[in-house]
Chain A
Amino acid sequence: MHAEREILFRESAAAALLDPQLRANFRRAMDGLISKRQAQFPDPRDLQELRDLSTAIRSRSLLRLPELLEQLEASCTKNGIQVHWAETCEQANALILGLLRTRGAKTLVKGKSMVSEEMHLNAFLEANGVEAIESDLGEYIIQLDGETPSHIIMPAIHKNKDQIARQFSQKIKDAKYTEDVDELTAMARKVLRQKFLEADAGLSGVNFAVAETGTLCLVENEGNGRMSTHVPPLHIAVMGLEKVVADLESVAPLYAILTRSATGQAVSTYFNLITGPRGADEKDGPQEVHLVILDNGRSRIYADPELRATLRCIRCGACMNHCPVYTRVGGHAYEAVYPGPIGKILTPQMEGVGVRHDLVHGSSLCGACGEVCPVEIPIPEILVRLRREATHSDPGSNVAGKGTGRLAAEDWTWRLWAAVLKRPALYRLATWFATRLGDALPAGAPLLRDWTRTRTKPVPARRSLSERMRSEGGSHD
């Protein structure tokens, strides 16, 4: 199991903390997002009612999940959207490659999709001779540098203007150096418009999938989502299986709370409802629309009544914007597709609690994430639950990798502790040694150094409490 424990959040977080530029970039951005969100919810009663309604809508969707997915499939099929199912990311990637190959597609423009990040779709397609071009400005910026998103809504938030200016002048053909945001945006527009025009296919995520009408809802500000889904002849949408909601009436409150929680906007620039490919008399729009429904561990999360709340998530990112840990270390330190508090509970459940066992400990449990979550996911409680899952193999649990995060040293310490506590004579002897000689133990001693790395060494009292009680005549009353 030790080989699987190579990615330590503790280590990457410590490295990130030493990067003042990164910390300044995140601090500024998160402060801005926090105050913008706050301005959108002036009335605490309205906010609570909207959260309650949104939570109820998402809970109902999950309670009826299998039925709603079947209904979504039937409605989409009736509308001419072809539905595919994938248990794993590998299956989903192969499915998409198959769709592209059959149609001879060589270039794919992408709207923002975190599920496609989860699938590592770009790398897979590149390896198979298909050019995948990110068209969301933030995604485009990080793709130029071969980076991954550091935030689920604002993927390039770790970079500042100067860094982007340098990058554009080096990587975009004929680009001059400028730090003017409008000019930088115009450069990207020029490059990407050509890509939209020429692309053989477009790919998007899905914010909400409506079972009743067979509609895919896309929320965006830039218009690249509309470009990717309406300009090329083929549109492929990918969604996690939890994204389905019963009806369009249920989408309105979720949309209202999503944009406000995410970026502090009352409404996004575009809210795009796709219910089918180009109709018989239509002059544009894709000839074909495909929907790929991905599981990738979600059905396992679903089976646990407490952990199921993880699947209520509408991917607004408010939990990361408000997280004191995320703000200080940034998104890349998590070395996971989904960073921040939601990532801390989602990643271990998808990849196994043993593999990423220290992620669930990378939290002060301050509770800010749970407090701002628009669908009231009890993230701190789930973190605590997963901490237990990482070190215990409870028979009733089906958490991936349960118990594999248990360290041998930790295990032996507890056994020793139990043995000592069960034997009063031994306990008294151990206490006597600990109080008289404990201070002689160097701070760098094994086990103790894990504690003293960031704290001063505890100094044991010279005499234990029970000794003092005996000698000073205290009573148990």
Chain B
Amino acid sequence: MTDARTAILGRLRAGGGEGPLPPLDTAVMERRQWDPAERVGRLRRGMEAVHTEFLDATPSDWPAVVRAFCDREALPNLLFGPTSEAGAALTAAWPTGGTQLLPYDRPVEAFKEELFTTVAAGFTGTVGGVAETGGLLLMPGPAEPRLLSLVPPIHLALLRASTLQDSLWHAVKALGWGRSLPPNALLISGPSKTADIEQTLAYGVHGPKRLIVVLVDDLA
């Protein structure tokens, strides 16, 4: 389709607009700022408004908080990335019996059916959160595959309060996303939802039906 390319770019150049680029006044983005404790409150309110659930934890007890949730919900299994830092911590602290830890350690093709049918929940870390609107920032990859946070009906996400950013605008800068990005990065603000039937909100349409944030208070 080289011809199409040449023709299209040719037409655009011929019809092209010369002239100065209008200036960008980003003050409206810049001024969305809060102090660290306020950020936590905002994120929580924003995400709870769209049915996200929160579990409070400390830097040392979060694996136990995850485990207690799994026990309470009687989850048969929990899919996780064994080589991530959080994954390693989870493995180390996981008592035998009860909810089984399933490592996502092979290509999806080897267990796609199982992933869609028998996995009860997925656990991931996050690389930050967005205070302004509420939202988690994830960078899936080799250690935490993309489908961990999408296919299982429950998504548990570990969020450290110290990693909260003011807004997506600030996060893009702070995380260096503007320069280079991994093959996938995303923001998640709640469980999957739709309002396509009569504007009535329904949760769990395609992705997770529940999003559980394990919020680690590490601000002190």
Query: Does A416 touch B at the CB level, under 8 Å?
Result: no
Chain A, range 256-299, C-beta contacts under 8 Å to B: 256, 263, 266-279, 281-285, 293, 295, 299
Query: Does B72 touch A at the CB level, under 8 Å?
Result: no
Task: Tell me the smallest distance from the CB of B14 to a CB of chain A, in Å.
Answer: 7
In the bound complex, CA of A251 to CA of B24 (Å): 13
Residues of A near B112 (CB, < 8 A) are 197, 231
Q: Binary interface profile of A, 165-190, with partner B (CB < 8 Å = 1, else 0)?
A: 00000000000000001101110110
Task: Tell me the smallest distance from the CB of A165 to a CB of chain B, in Å.
Answer: 9
> Do residues B9 and A91 form an inter-chain contact, with CB atoms below 8 A?
no
**Nearest A-chain residue to B142, judged by Cβ:** A281
> Do residues B8 and A299 form an inter-chain contact, with CB atoms below 8 A?
yes
Known A-B contacts A56-B22, A86-B1, A284-B145; A227 and B150 likewise in contact (beta carbons under 8 Å): yes
Query: Does B85 touch A at the CB level, under 8 Å?
Result: no
Query: Does B17 touch A at the CB level, under 8 Å?
Result: yes
Known A-B contacts A49-B27, A60-B22; A275 and B168 likewise in contact (beta carbons under 8 Å): no
**Nearest A-chain residue to B209, judged by Cβ:** A189
**Nearest A-chain residue to B15, judged by Cβ:** A303
> Do residues B4 and A223 form an inter-chain contact, with CB atoms below 8 A?
no
Known A-B contacts A62-B17, A253-B26, A305-B17; A213 and B172 likewise in contact (beta carbons under 8 Å): no
> Do residues B25 and A269 form an inter-chain contact, with CB atoms below 8 A?
no
Q: Binary interface profile of B, 1-20, with partner A (CB < 8 Å = 1, else 0)?
A: 10011011101111111010
Task: Tell me the smallest distance from the CB of A411 to a CB of chain B, in Å.
Answer: 30
Residues of B near A223 (CB, < 8 A) are 150, 192, 205-208
- Looking at chain B's contact residues, the main secondary structure is loop
> Do residues A135 and B17 form an inter-chain contact, with CB atoms below 8 A?
no
Known A-B contacts A85-B5, A213-B179; A273 and B185 likewise in contact (beta carbons under 8 Å): yes
Residues of A near B7 (CB, < 8 A) are 87
Chain B, range 172-220, C-beta contacts under 8 Å to A: 172-173, 177-200, 202, 204-208
> Do residues B196 and A227 form an inter-chain contact, with CB atoms below 8 A?
no
Query: Does B92 touch A at the CB level, under 8 Å?
Result: no
In the bound complex, CA of A277 to CA of B46 (Å): 32
In the bound complex, CA of A8 to CA of B207 (Å): 42
Stretch binding the partner chain, chosen from B33-41, B53-61, B63-71, B133-141: B133-141
Query: Does A308 touch B at the CB level, under 8 Å?
Result: yes
Task: Tell me the smallest distance from the CB of B9 to a CB of chain A, in Å.
Answer: 5
Residues of A near B28 (CB, < 8 A) are 46, 49-50, 53, 253
Which residue from A66, A161, A271, A276 sits with its C-beta under 8 Å from B187? A271
> Do residues B204 and A69 form an inter-chain contact, with CB atoms below 8 A?
no
Query: Does A101 touch B at the CB level, under 8 Å?
Result: no
In the bound complex, CA of A63 to CA of B12 (Å): 10
> Do residues A277 and B183 form an inter-chain contact, with CB atoms below 8 A?
yes
Task: Tell me the smallest distance from the CB of A91 to a CB of chain B, in Å.
Answer: 6
Query: Does B94 touch A at the CB level, under 8 Å?
Result: no
Residues of B near A269 (CB, < 8 A) are 50, 188-193, 207
Residues of A near B12 (CB, < 8 A) are 65-66, 69, 241, 299, 302
Number of chain A residues whose Cβ lies closer than 8 Å to a Cβ of chain B: 103
> Do residues B9 and A66 form an inter-chain contact, with CB atoms below 8 A?
yes
In the bound complex, CA of A65 to CA of B8 (Å): 11
Which residue from B22, B184, B189 sits with its C-beta under 8 Å from A230? B184
> Do residues A230 and B147 form an inter-chain contact, with CB atoms below 8 A?
yes
Residues of B near A85 (CB, < 8 A) are 1, 4-5, 8
> Do residues A282 and B145 form an inter-chain contact, with CB atoms below 8 A?
yes
Query: Does A160 touch B at the CB level, under 8 Å?
Result: yes
> Do residues A275 and B107 form an inter-chain contact, with CB atoms below 8 A?
no
Query: Does A129 touch B at the CB level, under 8 Å?
Result: no
Residues of B near A63 (CB, < 8 A) are 17, 19, 21
Stretch binding the partner chain, chosen from A117-125, A136-144, A327-335: A136-144
Known A-B contacts A189-B205, A193-B116, A227-B206; A53 and B24 likewise in contact (beta carbons under 8 Å): yes
> Do residues A64 and B21 form an inter-chain contact, with CB atoms below 8 A?
yes
Query: Does A252 touch B at the CB level, under 8 Å?
Result: yes
Residues of B near A115 (CB, < 8 A) are none
> Do residues B198 and A279 form an inter-chain contact, with CB atoms below 8 A?
no
In the bound complex, CA of A343 to CA of B42 (Å): 38
In the bound complex, CA of A256 to CA of B192 (Å): 19
In the bound complex, CA of A300 to CA of B12 (Å): 8
Residues of A near B105 (CB, < 8 A) are 283
> Do residues B9 and A283 form an inter-chain contact, with CB atoms below 8 A?
no
> Do residues B1 and A91 form an inter-chain contact, with CB atoms below 8 A?
yes
> Do residues A252 and B206 form an inter-chain contact, with CB atoms below 8 A?
no
In the bound complex, CA of A52 to CA of B16 (Å): 22
**Nearest A-chain residue to B137, judged by Cβ:** A271
> Do residues B200 and A161 form an inter-chain contact, with CB atoms below 8 A?
yes
Residues of B near A66 (CB, < 8 A) are 9, 12-13, 16
Query: Does A114 touch B at the CB level, under 8 Å?
Result: no
In the bound complex, CA of A435 to CA of B193 (Å): 66
Query: Does A95 touch B at the CB level, under 8 Å?
Result: yes
In the bound complex, CA of A475 to CA of B177 (Å): 75
> Do residues B21 and A282 form an inter-chain contact, with CB atoms below 8 A?
no
Known A-B contacts A255-B168, A267-B46; A275 and B187 likewise in contact (beta carbons under 8 Å): no
> Do residues A87 and B188 form an inter-chain contact, with CB atoms below 8 A?
no
Beyond A53-B24, A161-B198, A249-B169, list 7 extra A-B contacts (CB 8 Å).
A164-B197, A185-B202, A231-B151, A248-B177, A250-B24, A266-B133, A272-B186
A-B contact pairs, 26 of them (CB 8 A): A53-B24, A56-B22, A57-B24, A63-B21, A80-B183, A141-B196, A154-B196, A156-B196, A182-B202, A185-B194, A213-B179, A222-B194, A255-B168, A266-B134, A267-B134, A267-B135, A270-B189, A271-B186, A272-B184, A276-B183, A284-B147, A285-B140, A285-B183, A300-B15, A302-B16, A304-B15
Shortest beta-carbon contacts, A-B, top 4: A223-B207, A303-B15, A138-B196, A281-B142
